[in-house]
Amino acid sequence: MAKLKTKDIKSMGKEEKEKKIKELKVELIKTKASSGKGGKTNSKQIRKTIARILTVR
């Protein structure tokens, strides 16, 4: 998962932002499930990206 830059978020449309948030939330759930099985997590980065999208709206 690549970190989204502010300029990229600003160029997104409203529907595109909502779609990206949904995708990130699904990815966050999958990451948390795999971390329980001993997998590597990047849930902090995913949560930060969701927060960034919600803030830049």
5 dihedral zone (left: phi>0; alpha: psi -120 to 50; beta): beta
pLDDT at residue 53 in the model: 93
What is the three-class DSSP state of 29? helix
Of the candidates 57, 41, 48, the one whose C-alpha atom is nearest the C-alpha of residue 24 is 48
The pLDDT tens digits for 1-56 are: 667 888 998 999 999 999 999 999 999 998 888 877 666 668 889 999 999 999 98
* Environment class of 39 (CB within 10 Å of its CB; exposed 0-12, middle 13-18, buried 19+): exposed
| pTM reported for the whole predicted model | 0.81
Distances from the Cα of 27 to the Cα of 7, 11, 13, angstroms = 23, 22, 21
pLDDT at residue 16 in the model: 94
pLDDT at residue 49 in the model: 92
pLDDT at residue 26 in the model: 95
pLDDT at residue 3 in the model: 79
